[in-house]
A and B are shown apart, each in its own frame.
Chain A
């Protein structure tokens, strides 16, 4: 073998960067149609990172928050369009780096609420084992980086009124209406002091918008103000909508400053 100069051999050690290295550096963005108009969606190699209504400020705000270059993608990432159409995001992954553990927990719990159903803020707080942090849950959802896809609009006030929303309460109401959620009925029940609905044939108690609660025929519907009352009357919690307060055992390693 002919010997090349050592300097040249060393220069030949240079290799081309892998083609997908760029995906770990830049974020891509697309616009997609959604039930509430055109959305700006930015994503990284970790998943969807940012969703806002399409407009110049969306990209600006993304750069400010994430400090990554932003490159337009030729087409939406796999699963995004169908997730928006079906109101289900179980096939999507999200890039929630940079959020607090608390906010990630809130968003994860929110993600489990199915289309057509809603849960109160307090339910999220229960589910993440922070039953007293109801207000903090509201704050965490108010700054949800990926609304619509992680359905923070499905978290409402216990009285059946929609509560606040990133895109305004009006839009929240419309989104829920499009998903077939009957907020008016929830509101009417709440005014009568009913926050849990049970079936006296199955002996199961649900949140009012749970799919299993909605199919209880009127003669067998029983309403309760609290879960404790329903439990005292012999009803057991629905496994789908999980109305029972979790036993509030503080998880190890969770301190108050985690909310930072």
Chain B
């Protein structure tokens, strides 16, 4: 099942409409950004659970993607699966950061205190957003790392099972079981917990 359309904020201007003078690689990149910015940002947000960190993570992912694609040439660019490729970069950036952060004491625990809302959104929107996704997003953090990452890639970033496996560097069967167990745990948590 392909569940899509990402929410479009009002007055949101597509970047490709303002990129009229970019060169080929830049035009390709801007299109890539327009198509996948929400998937990348959403996955980043569910990974690190903080709005500001997610912005950092997503921005760095795209900058790295641009630098990597610089040497690719049009043929390779047209052949790759862009979303899975972006997610692989995102995961690498995230792991590198987690490793760096682990070497120094973290500024604050990364557990239940989930900073979900864009600080700039208006209050009504935040409230609405909290009702629909806040509880679930918090439950997501109670899964094991592998289950959470597999589920975020599969459903939030909307990758296929084989792509999820490729990004996480695990066999498909393993990815499938992480997703299955993760979903089961989430169901149990929603039934037994504050969601009722």
Contact = CB atoms under 8 A, between A and B. Distances in A.
Contact of A24 (B25, B55, B129): B55
A91 B158 CA distance: 45
A68 B66 contact: yes
Nearest to A74: B18
Contacts of A69: 22, 25-26, 29-30, 66
Interface in A11-42: 11-19, 21-22, 24-26
A245 B15 CA distance: 51
B111 interface: no
Contacts of A6: 183, 186-187, 190
Contact of B55 (A10, A18, A67, A74): A18
B136 A22 contact: no
A133 interface: no
B30 A14 contact: no
Interface stretch (B2-10, B75-83, B84-92, B170-178): B2-10
Contacts, number: 113
Interface of B is mostly: helix
Interface of B: 1, 3-4, 6-9, 12-13, 15, 18-23, 25-26, 29-30, 33, 37-42, 45-46, 55, 58-59, 62-63, 66-67, 70, 118, 120, 129, 132-133, 136-137, 140, 151, 155-158, 183, 186-187, 190
Interface in A39-54: none
15 contacts: A10-B136, A11-B156, A12-B133, A14-B7, A16-B6, A16-B38, A17-B41, A18-B120, A21-B41, A21-B55, A25-B59, A67-B63, A69-B30, A69-B66, A71-B26
A71 B186 contact: no
Contact of A14 (B39, B67, B136): B39
A12 B8 contact: no
B66 A67 contact: yes
A71 B25 CA distance: 12
B38 A17 contact: yes
